[in-house]
Structure 1
Amino acid sequence: MTEPNPSEALDLYAKVEDLLGVKEAAPRLYAHYLLALQSLEFGSLLDVGCGSGDFLKAMQGAFPEAEFSGIDLSPEMVRRARKQGVEAHCSDLCELPGRYDVITCVFDMLNYLSDEELVPFLHCLKERLNPNGVLLCDLNTLYGFEEVAVGAFVAEDEGRFVAIESEFEAGIYRADFTLFEKEGACWRKSEGTIRQYYRSPEKIAEVLGAEILLRDPVSLYTETPDKLFLAFAPRP
């Protein structure tokens, strides 16, 4: 049985994202989105799970005539995104009004959804796409889960220390986070667990009722592809 990720765990992740090497790998992943967007005619883009807004800021610079906005369930992430000057809201996709030419789900956002969350999420996503709209996303490959993500990891800076223990079994990736934050002469400890779930492109296409327009392998951390970049066109 799959389980939703609690908001407290997502906020904990938000506090340590910059220690995990995500920002260093991001430009290589963003390049796939940039090339795909250059082939599309679009006037509006919604980034779901926008995080700290790095992706939106990069795309706004590349396409100044388009309208960009983002949503995230973590208030901390939304605060950081707004600080970068991008439009971001702490909102649920299914409660969001309006439609968009392009919806993006960047850095394996769909892998974070449990089985119970995935189906209604994709139905809401389809409803918020304009006719002929496109979903752009990336998914972790089995290799990415089994060979890249698992194991132990520690990182620190002057005010934080984070330790992560992770495993992948039966299609479920589990990462246990322990964070120590310096507060004066003391350290405050926080703990949380984040899960990701392996998703095949065919599964996403089936639930979304869509055609797979593009399937490109992405190698962020090793020579073997650890992600797939995908473009979906939902059928009417």
Structure 2
Amino acid sequence: MINPLDLYAKIESLIGFDAQYEKLYQIYLQLLHTLHVKTILDVGCGNGTFLKHLQNEQFNACGIDRSAAMVERSLALGVNASTKELEEFDEASFECVVAIADVLNYISPTEIEAFLEAVARVLPKEGYFICDVNTLYGFEGVADGVMCQDKANQFLCVDATFSNKELLTKIVLFEKEGDLYRKVEGSITQYFHPLSFFKKLKIFKLCSTKPVTLFGDEPDKTILILQKR
């Protein structure tokens, strides 16, 4: 079965959320300017679009992603991206770390504290971590359900079910090869993280939150501004 992150890279163009993500990127850019930071690490940088925005805004930024396919797309935009892990960077390497568009929701409750510790290590004292998490409405009212796309030589079906604070998304993609279709399938699990968890962190202080409405009638995401203690 294909790496779920690489599978998402294959279907990204079929999903068509560019306008919503662009709105999210602009909010992040506004926040970064208010914090007066210059060196930024984008964790889970995806196709590099936000890195390109950072580059255009004169930030000194680089990105990492566990999908080699996504990193390849980022590099094609002329930005600094790699498949490095957080542990490979020196301590206090960046003034700010960002994790945009569901990155934290891909991390399970048993792994998120270790992830946050890894983020804190590359930040100086009082450095910033800006991220977003899906609200319950984002999972129950937006993500839960079935979506199909039939375009030219590709057919995509995404079936997402939210239960017990987890969203299980099953993906089936058919791609035409000659007179036949090749089937590619996989699944991705996302996790709901309540704001109460971030308010109790010892290594970070939750400075502020910002509700964001991208897809529905009420906020489906919350942006968190965390500062290393």
What is the TM-score when the length of structure 2 is the normalising length?
0.94
Which of 172, 176, 179 matches 2:173? Answer: 179
Which of 68, 82, 90 matches 2:83? Answer: 90
Which of 41, 54, 60 matches 1:59? Answer: 54
Which of 32, 35, 40 matches 2:27? Answer: 32
Deviations 1:147-181 (A, max 9, x none): 10011101132232110111101100000000111
Q: Which moved more, 1:185-194 or 1:94-103?
A: 94-103
1:12 equivalent in alignment to 2:7: yes
Give the AA of the match of 1:13: Y
Q: Is the partner of 1:132 in helix, strand or coil? A: coil
Would the aligned equivalents of 2:209 and 2:224 in 1 still touch at CA under 8 Å? Answer: yes
1:73 equivalent in alignment to 2:66: yes
Would the aligned equivalents of 1:122 and 1:207 in 2 still touch at CA under 8 Å? Answer: no
Separation in 1, partners of 2:47, 2:4:
16
Give the AA of the match of 1:158: A
Separation in 2, partners of 1:78, 1:113:
20
Shift in Å at residue 69 of structure 1? 0.3
- CA gap 1:18/1:113 in 2 versus in 1, 3 angstroms: same
- In structure 2, the gaps of 5 or more residues are none
- CA gap 1:193/1:23 in 2 versus in 1, 3 angstroms: same
Shift in Å at residue 134 of structure 1? 0.3
Deviations 1:4-39 (A, max 9, x none): xx9711111111112213212112111221111111
Separation in 2, partners of 1:223, 1:91:
38
Separation in 2, partners of 1:168, 1:123:
28
Separation in 2, partners of 1:95, 1:183:
39
Shift in Å at residue 223 of structure 1? 2.3
Deviations 1:178-197 (A, max 9, x none): 01112222211011010100
**Identity rate, percent:** 36
1:103 equivalent in alignment to 2:62: no
1:129 equivalent in alignment to 2:123: yes
Which of 17, 38, 42 matches 2:37? Answer: 42
Q: Is the partner of 1:130 in helix, strand or coil? A: coil
Would the aligned equivalents of 1:123 and 1:208 in 2 still touch at CA under 8 Å? Answer: no
Shift in Å at residue 226 of structure 1? 0.4
What is the TM-score when the length of structure 1 is the normalising length?
0.91
Q: Is the partner of 2:78 in helix, strand or coil? A: coil
Would the aligned equivalents of 2:48 and 2:73 in 1 still touch at CA under 8 Å? Answer: yes
Q: Which moved more, 1:49-58 or 1:151-160?
A: 151-160
Aligned pairs for 1:125-204 within 5 A: 125-204=119-198
- CA gap 1:7/1:92 in 2 versus in 1, 3 angstroms: farther
Q: Is the partner of 1:116 in helix, strand or coil? A: coil
Q: Is the partner of 2:126 in helix, strand or coil? A: strand
Q: Which moved more, 1:203-212 or 1:106-115?
A: 203-212
- CA gap 1:21/1:204 in 2 versus in 1, 3 angstroms: farther
- CA gap 1:104/1:151 in 2 versus in 1, 3 angstroms: same
Separation in 1, partners of 2:199, 2:17:
27
List, as ranges, runs of 4+ consecutive aligned residues in structure 1 with deviation greater than 4 Å: none
Would the aligned equivalents of 1:122 and 1:208 in 2 still touch at CA under 8 Å? Answer: no
- In structure 1, the gaps of 5 or more residues are 1-5
